[in-house]
Structure 1
């Protein structure tokens, strides 16, 4: 038979002779079977097997060969870069993983020697991670091209498999270190080989490739793959990825790295901070490398020293913020022994980080003396700790004092810096002066005789704002008391400087903190209060039915004389239906409803129970009344105010509770009303520093605005009367008889506070609209009364667009001129000062600090048009609530006016009517509150007034008016009203403004 087929010619394929005249398909199958049966003895054989659809046993043998660790550096290793290693990795990712991933996971038993462990060992390298990223990107692009069409199922399936593979591959606390060590084995001394590896390594792990691609792939596969929504795909979450990367950096630094490895680890640390959660990364590494038992704290300094100075500064400032928030903010003025011990412990931890590094010490000096530094809004404790560290070097502490004096007396600084910033720098000046006096009294004496000091006191005493003058007087008296004796001592004989606050400022020069051991910090870390505890609550179907006591009949025999046939038998109304009995299935009826909380700790427990609908709803309904009731009785609210506020801000509506947002806002308002001095500042700090969404930040602004108005006496909420302490109330049944109230069927709801009128979602907007109408109504009436005149020409169709209800209001008709309109009622100075110090000043100061901080994480969030407009309207409501009798009104007016004219605000107002309307509303509120002191405003803020007039005129001319939309018409009307008020003030007091307007163009 062999003679019938004669070969004509032969050709060589894959090193073997194949005769023409035979079937190519048969030859290919025969060759594939030969490859499958061949054992892998070299990497080349392994590549050949992987390319020809190996069976499971052949694959396992190949994985064992490739994952074997080669002690000889000259031998092949799949973890080291090379052309053959790249081909093997590519074959594993594109050919093996899609086909065998499910089988490998099923055959895995959690050990490194399992087939899955062998595969992960082969791919745990720079080339392996890069191959997965490239494949993910290709599949994502393919899925996007098929958008709107019926997507092929294998695309979504392969995306899910690659995501699962990536998460398994990166799992572990030493993954990053192992990959770098394997990649650079044998090439440590060769800079030409290490440099490109380092670049690729940093781009993969320090960049956003992994997180962005994982998130995009998970989003594309969420409809097809349940895995994409599970917790297993952690690489798509920037928060979890940052924690993982931070833990890997910690393990790397604890493994005694070489100087080259330390440098690489430091560069990875710098890159990782740009992922968006640098504060979380720094905090995690700080806790593990400094504030943990049995660690070598200088390792954190080694991690911070190599980066450029700008990155060192950023990390160090984050460390100061973390130390302040977690350990020192609750200490107040640090007058207790425990407070002083914690300050010394923080100073010891900070000193261990700084070490002998001069650059880091210079950054501390900059933090203390920069115009936006010294811990704005933080307590004095962090400044005491930093001064303690800096004072270890005489030249540094003297430099702090000199720079502080120059800044303290600068006229531009006095006029334009927020008062909170000036208070912080005044504390730094006094603390540094006390330290210099202890080290070198003659140096402080020489500084007190310098022209810089004399100019500083003179400029402070000439400041237009009372608070700035107070700081100048108290600093002058304190330092003069250290140097001068007898009659030469400076004494202004002012009540403010001799009060409690003045005495506290003067005591700062006597502070003598020492560098202590930071072991005290190990057990004093502030626990996060926003985490929600999950309880194993049973479903209604699983709950055991409540047992009711058996009730029997009481039979009483009556005599004939006691019976009266004329007496009617009293009739009883039909009882209300029980909502719990309306369910068809009696097994689902719940008889163990939770009771309303009567203590703040019970309320906190209910709010934390996120899996129980009844508790969540009852907590929300009860919170406003309970918090207000407990505000002035005991210390329950004051001790748990921050924890309650954190829970309410971060509360999620899992059960779609009716009026959820309104009830949550009511609860937060009750906290602010109960503790306005502390919680106003806390909410202002949370608005900028907290990790919250736009809607949650908006709720913070709403409660600050509404709470300030309630404190000032405006619009008292309907639920205030229901919050009286029980001992001051009549019994419920008697109260219904004499006072009236909800029907008996709603008595239970009344006792729990659920009949309270909910706040509308746009409560703050409604208040702003109402105030706008009140501000503009007199102008409209005055313009309508004048038959001719410039006002009518300026306003054009202004009066015709006013609401008919406003014009028909008899109160408005009586206001024929602006002089007849009622004034804003005077607010007592105690309330006005509270609104200024705890609400207004923290918001404006932190906003200005954010504008001057290039690394602010919340900058993009705050400049959302809706949130920015709400922020500006909140400031307007605060200054209106404070009223014209506020002692700090000049300071408030100057800060807010300059804030409105800042480049950032006006840039956001361009083309956005929402922000433009908010700016105009704030200007109108400022003009309204300062109506009686317009002369002082023109004298102090002449340039700002003219600049605002030109800007408003440009806005007015740029709007279409009657042909535009309703919103555009409203903004044009508001601009017209502001323009009229501005021109009235400028024309009346223009002579006072001549000096300030020279050179204005």
Structure 2
């Protein structure tokens, strides 16, 4: 039978059925010219002329799928979206209904099946679709591929490429639907493939579970890789989980001590990363036996690591050394005793829970710190905060004015409600209530986490006037009264399921709270072209206005040099009316003592682990926030450590994006202003690298305001580099 001739002759349904039956009797996975011609007619004409027929049987083949994908690609690249696309998409969905599709096609044609399902051919085409089909959703598609692989014994290559489709977390969760089969798949993979699967899929899937549940799943899967080494770049819960399931505590601890105690690493590795390593060592010490602790304390790795830590110029690095030494000595029963501050670290011993319970939590995880729409709290009957007697009608209750909240619990209830009046009242009086309650009992501290989570994701569904400002005032008040919540705010800002504006608002909240805690007094600065005059007349309500004001002040003292050395067409000249202002005046800086632990390092700990983790806008806001936190923390004893951390981020993130360039300039001006001596004495190489970058970048900035900012940075850094040269010359 000439299939194409029949299909081209305006066939009846019976004739098409005959062709489909004939096609089903041949090997459709070996494309021939005749087959390709028949399938071309099917996808170009027949399925649209006779849509009621069932075509999926013949298209569940290498040839059939290839023709659908090719035709979709052609139609997608046309000027106008063809009405034929939905028909082809529907056909593709019905083809994918076959539970053993990948297995059957892999057995028939491995290379072609791999190219279609876990290569870029199919997903790159369907991702351009504008329909709501699941085959165009990379997350759902990756989960479908994983489910397909679980029905047979797939080669490691297919499993590995499934994780590399770009949606590793969704694939990992789908694989866990059958833990036993998934474990077998993992053990067939090479260590490098396993490491990728856990780094991009496993740990991101488990990071919001309890430590006991994460540990249970990791222990069951038992990959042949060092989970402790991998966990160092992930959140605390995963570091604790990986530490409690170690099989050979001596080997793992000695290996970690080698990198943690390396003299060069202590000086150059980010302090957030060193803190992560320290927490793992603490957790390992909590779970190991006394005999293991004695063996470790007698090793050269331990002796060298502690010696290098105690020799460090960084107070934080030294404190980490004393902490680990004390933990291991106590575990070993020795008399060695260091004074240590334990509030920052987790010393709990964890036991993995039953696997079934862990998987149940994975299917319906509860993340109270990240649930951004908590259920409204029901007020107790008879409370003074109730709207009226139980017998009042709904109309009377609606008409009665909402009382001003007098308890934090009532404030939480108001902000959780669907009532315009209650939300408005809560926003209007919330910050006043929190400050008023600060010195009375623990009410603010009790409800602070829940309030912050609620406010972080609270939307303006009633278009309330000054909604954003009032919302931020409440969050700032909470953070001022209970500064320990800085860790939660940092986590929400960079890991919560929030909008861009909400993330930036949380970081601004940290800055505003830091400013208030530091007793910072805003100096009077004349209006300039760096800062619009209107902004000088308004109290700084967000991070941008604070940044503009700070940029204005820090650039003023370079105005003479900017005119003399960098004058000309490149630089916008500074008005003669601008007067150099002295540094900010402060009272007792309470923030200096808490900045590193509760604000700076929690935020820095969530900095991007991979390229593309955050948008340039978020990264720019993060750099500005960290810079301002350092500014308000001066003169903290932790300055060397937080300066080092910010320098590392600037070296990596400065880049060429305009928003990142401005943020980097701002952060560098702050460092020059409050930490010039530290930059010169401790970090001359990083300083020189950033100076070279600033010199190369500032003249190419299109924005005149930012260009002048860059000129100020070049001069400030140039002065510091000159100091380094003089020191070297003796």
Short-chain TM bin: 0.7 to 0.9
Gaps of 5+ in 2: 377-392, 523-537
Report the secondary structure of 1:96's partner residue. helix
Q: Is the 8 A contact 2:290 2:333 kept in 1?
A: no
- Distance between the aligned counterparts of 1:48 and 1:534, measured in 2? 65
- Distance between the aligned counterparts of 1:604 and 1:241, measured in 2? 40
- Distance between the aligned counterparts of 1:547 and 1:897, measured in 2? 60
How far has the Cα of 1:435 moved from its partner? 5.5
Matches within 5 A, 1:857-872: 859-860=611-612, 862=614, 864=616, 866-872=617-623
The one of 295, 312, 315 aligned to 1:443 = 295
Deviates more, 1:654-663 or 1:236-245: 654-663
Q: Is the 8 A contact 1:361 1:390 kept in 2?
A: no
Report the secondary structure of 1:366's partner residue. helix
- Distance between the aligned counterparts of 1:838 and 1:943, measured in 2? 29
Structure 2 partner of 1:873: 624
Establish whether residue 709 from structure 1 lines up as the match of residue 515 from structure 2: yes
How far has the Cα of 1:805 moved from its partner? 6.1
Matches within 5 A, 1:239-638: 239-246=139-146, 248-249=147-148, 252-253=149-150, 255=151, 257=152, 259=153, 262-263=154-155, 266-286=156-176, 288-289=177-178, 297-317=179-199, 318-328=201-211, 343=212, 346-354=214-222, 360-367=223-230, 373-379=231-237, 382-391=238-247, 394=248, 397-433=249-285, 437-440=289-292, 443-447=295-299, 450=300, 452-482=301-331, 485=334, 489-492=335-338, 494=339, 497=340, 499-501=341-343, 511=349, 517-525=354-362, 526-527=365-366, 619=423, 622-623=426-427, 625-626=429-430, 629=433, 633=443, 637-638=447-448
- Distance between the aligned counterparts of 1:625 and 1:284, measured in 2? 47
Structure 1 partner of 2:484: 677
How far has the Cα of 1:134 moved from its partner? 0.9
**Root-mean-square deviation over aligned CA pairs:** 4.3
Deviation string, structure 1 residues 254-273 (Cα, Å, up to 9, x no partner): x4x2x4xx22xx54443233
Provide the TM-score with structure 2 as the length reference. Answer: 0.80
How far has the Cα of 1:471 moved from its partner? 1.4
Provide the TM-score with structure 1 as the length reference. Answer: 0.60
Of structures 1 and 2, the larger Rg is shown by 1
The 1:646/1:874 distance shift into structure 2, 3 A limit, reads closer
The 1:387/1:641 distance shift into structure 2, 3 A limit, reads same
Structure 2 partner of 1:747: none
Q: Is the 8 A contact 2:521 2:585 kept in 1?
A: no
The 1:952/1:470 distance shift into structure 2, 3 A limit, reads same
Establish whether residue 234 from structure 1 lines up as the match of residue 134 from structure 2: yes
Matches within 5 A, 1:644-663: 644=454, 647-648=457-458, 651=459
How far has the Cα of 1:312 moved from its partner? 0.7
Matches within 5 A, 1:969-984: 970-984=705-719
The one of 204, 207, 221 aligned to 2:116 = 204
Establish whether residue 180 from structure 1 lines up as the match of residue 102 from structure 2: yes
- Distance between the aligned counterparts of 1:202 and 1:278, measured in 2? 17
The 1:428/1:764 distance shift into structure 2, 3 A limit, reads closer
Q: Is the 8 A contact 1:681 1:842 kept in 2?
A: yes
The 1:203/1:698 distance shift into structure 2, 3 A limit, reads farther
Deviation string, structure 1 residues 765-795 (Cα, Å, up to 9, x no partner): 2211111222233444xx4xxxxxx786335
The one of 131, 134, 141 aligned to 2:70 = 134
- Distance between the aligned counterparts of 1:645 and 1:470, measured in 2? 36
How far has the Cα of 1:825 moved from its partner? 1.8
Establish whether residue 769 from structure 1 lines up as the match of residue 548 from structure 2: yes
The one of 44, 47, 53 aligned to 1:94 = 44
Alignment size in residue pairs: 686
Matches within 5 A, 1:902-981: 902=651, 904-906=652-654, 908-909=655-656, 912-930=657-675, 934=677, 936-955=678-697, 958=699, 967-968=703-704, 970-981=705-716
How far has the Cα of 1:274 moved from its partner? 3.0
The 1:434/1:658 distance shift into structure 2, 3 A limit, reads closer
The 1:459/1:99 distance shift into structure 2, 3 A limit, reads same
Q: Is the 8 A contact 2:665 2:710 kept in 1?
A: yes
Q: Is the 8 A contact 2:665 2:709 kept in 1?
A: yes
Q: Is the 8 A contact 1:465 1:891 kept in 2?
A: yes
- Distance between the aligned counterparts of 1:206 and 1:244, measured in 2? 11
Deviation string, structure 1 residues 533-583 (Cα, Å, up to 9, x no partner): 999xxxxxxxxxx9868xxxxxxxxxxxxxxxxxxxxxxxxxxxxxxxxxx
Report the secondary structure of 1:216's partner residue. coil
The one of 627, 632, 638 aligned to 1:888 = 638
The 1:272/1:361 distance shift into structure 2, 3 A limit, reads closer
The 1:161/1:384 distance shift into structure 2, 3 A limit, reads closer
The 1:284/1:709 distance shift into structure 2, 3 A limit, reads farther
